[in-house]
Chains A and B, each alone.
Chain A
């Protein structure tokens, strides 16, 4: 991986620049650091920063931009007549990329000479077979245009990498020289370094915004692409979810409603489990429990929150499912057909959400001022009457917020439903039936052979968008409620 070594070289240049800059500054002050404007390390850091930051920026921009340039060049080489029926330019391009990688690996493994990889012609020798012999993954028969494009791809990429290496090192060197040139005892190195560090801090803080932009960019772009291939009206109103497996048939019906129903139903079951248990646990822990009980039970309940969701998924599939099946299955009441069902996933998810509800409600109940309790006791109310008639009503908005946050968690939960809820989309009221959710379908549509051109794959992005908007809405609303409530008593 040359990029790794490139980074090492740039860092080495920066380190050299640091010591040179420091030395030069001390020299210009005649060896007496009291004559310097700043501490000697600032002069060194100034040079190092000027070497590293522009070079790294260039590197990142180059790494992102080069594939676009290469794709553009290659794309122009493949005439429209060479794109097979039912395929697309994107598919041919990924074949080109695969072939080029195959050639690279074959050369690296010593099976092919560099010259052969550069000049082979598919119409003369059977390159496909030779690549297969070299244990490379090649799917189709490689045609001459594809091979030619792959060879060009390798050349352009190789030159690109070489130019990039040169340019990055040059920029690092220039930066270091610039830093060294300004190094003088009167130079305000500290101010310069602090300005640079400040810029880095701002850049780091902006990454959060960039992430959101990235999420929106990836969701919106692909969702629009999906709606171009598949009518939006059907996506939102169709009561059936049945993607065709062939990949490009018009026969898929991709209605989001059954998935939304499954998501909401499973979340509802989870909340029915989690909210009473979590709420009563929170009330008991904050109002009744003695100190030792509280210091034991609270962390123990919170352990449940630290367990990865895959564990709950497995627990649902292999423990809860068989247990429910033995009671409600064919040997018991006969309500349940298989171990994957709404109630299986809902129970596991409910267990996961207990600590979430309880610790949030605990905080909120503790925030209710003591004066309100004292007032209620003074009027002769018992403890439970105080809780039911004073504390809980006062804490209600916060508790609603906590429940909403838990709902958003349940809606976005993936591994439990992938393992516990089943794969068939169904619109039914029976909690013992298998249903599926938005998240489970995102996983199943996007894993495996990923060809992003078909509506069956692109629908995952539309589902992701639905999920993102739902959870975001719930979160914003819940945080608004919680915050508003907190201000009331502060």
Chain B
């Protein structure tokens, strides 16, 4: 040690202490805090978006499951029936009877409100022809009291659900302010009320002018047939392809090409698969348009890469000692794979398949191109086989069709459809999670 260094004066430094923070440390610590806060903020934003999404789905979708109904007990005598049938305007006579009955009923309930035939028609549709149809079809009900359950007009339904507001309502031939007074009075008397709408879950799509009658049932059936096609094709093909690539494929250019292909196909936009389906299956092979069969084929091609990737991962997770043991006791390579490796990998494969199916179930864009738009879902297929070939829609395509319609009442149906779609997706994912939890093995 020399003392030379002692001669040069040491640079003056501020007194520092480990106990009190200096400005620089403070700055660094503040930066640290800030950085951490950004992270928390980012996660909070993400979760906030999720919450808003869930909230708006539930809030806007739940009304789709209820509908506004008119409950009226009505009696028509034989004489009244004969008299009405004898008149020139038969349905007008029927609505006359109905109105007088309604008036009597309101009087007994002590509700004072004036109304005419046109108002009744605006609220609950053409009541006269409904009654006439019913009584000409069931003449034995004459003289008996019949409980009629009529669907209220979609604007009245909207009034109950807050879509139509008193303040913003303009008198039109569909609904006037005076009608709303009548509706309020009828609601007070318990004649108009909301009820659970089974028609939404089981029904088929309706025309653009009848949002109240639209249901998602037919397109659920369409989705079901499509998923059947996807499952029956993509599971065997996907597993076979994965087994080949994972267990048997030699390292050569052909195999390399297949692998590159699969990873690229997984990232091709779904609409391109729709173009493929349109050009190959419909334009080229003349398969029927809008058929769940074609939709299923397109979605199969789309889900195959997903299934192959997850299947290969679960095959890879089976340790080589299993194969070696099987080969050691004299199994052929094929036997080792099919008898030992595949059963052990099965839970993983099934999980991957269910997740792939769930993805396919929510896919919309390719279906639009092959004509599976919502308005073809006007009815259920006649049988099992025609379920594959008859024009039908699928849940997401039906939701899109409703969202694209001009009448706002369909928006509610679209949100309701989303709830049903998400229930299906949630169920599938839960099944996948349970399968994974139950059968997953760590080697």
Question: Residues of A at under 8 Å CB distance from B?
Answer: 1, 4, 63-64, 67, 97, 190, 194, 197-198, 200-209, 211-212, 214-215, 217-219, 221-222, 276-281, 283-285, 288, 297, 300-301, 303-304, 306-311, 313-315, 317-319, 351, 354-355, 358, 382-385, 387-388, 405, 408-409, 411-415, 418-419, 439, 442-443, 446-447, 450, 452, 460-461, 464, 467-468, 471-472, 475-476, 479
Contacts and interface: CB of A to CB of B under 8 A. Distances in A.
Contacts of A415: 364-365, 396, 400
A99 B264 CA distance: 42
A314 B399 contact: yes
A303 B275 contact: no
B283 A382 contact: no
Given A205-B240, A414-B269, A414-B271, A301 B57 contact: no
15 contacts: A1-B385, A67-B286, A201-B240, A201-B248, A215-B275, A304-B53, A309-B362, A311-B418, A382-B31, A382-B32, A419-B403, A419-B404, A447-B373, A450-B278, A461-B275
B58 interface: no
Q: Which of A208, A209, A317, A388 has the most CB of B within 10 A?
A: A208
A476 B263 CA distance: 9
Contacts of A97: 286
Q: Which of B35, B274, B332 has the most CB of A within 10 A?
A: B35
A308 B421 contact: yes
A365 to B, nearest CB: 12
Interface stretch (B2-10, B39-47, B99-107, B108-116): B39-47
A385 B368 CA distance: 50
Contacts of B403: 313-314, 317-318, 419
B418 A218 contact: no
Interface in B236-267: 236-238, 240-241, 243-245, 248-249, 257-258, 261-265, 267
Interface residues of B, number: 90
B176 interface: no
Interface in B63-110: none
A419 B414 CA distance: 12
B39 A208 contact: no
The 6 A-B residue pairs with the shortest CB-CB distance, nearest first, are A412-B269, A284-B39, A308-B362, A218-B279, A280-B42, A204-B240
Contact of A301 (B47, B305, B365): B47
B241 A201 contact: yes
A472 B42 contact: no
Interface in B359-392: 361-365, 368-369, 371, 373, 385-386, 388-389
B443 interface: no
A382 B241 contact: no
A277 B45 contact: yes
- The secondary-structure label for the interface of chain B is helix
B137 interface: no
Contacts of B36: 284, 288, 384
Contacts of B429: 306
A461 B283 CA distance: 13
A284 B43 contact: yes
Nearest to B45: A277
Contact of B39 (A214, A283, A303, A413): A283
Contacts of B301: 207, 211, 214
B349 to A, nearest CB: 14
A313 B364 CA distance: 11
B64 to A, nearest CB: 12
Contacts of A284: 36, 38-40, 42-43
A450 B248 CA distance: 45
B194 interface: no
B334 to A, nearest CB: 5
Given A205-B244, A288-B39, A447-B369, A194 B332 contact: yes
Given A315-B53, A447-B373, A208 B305 contact: yes
A308 B420 CA distance: 12
B32 A384 contact: yes
Given A288-B39, A318-B60, A415-B365, A471 B261 contact: no
A384 B35 contact: yes
Given A212-B264, A439-B269, A464-B271, A314 B42 contact: no
Given A301-B46, A467-B269, A4 B369 contact: no
B272 interface: yes
Contact of A351 (B32, B53, B275, B363): B53
B242 to A, nearest CB: 8
Contacts of A207: 237, 241, 301, 304
Q: Which of B28, B271, B368, B411 has the most CB of A within 10 A?
A: B271
B269 A471 contact: yes
Interface in B4-30: 28-29
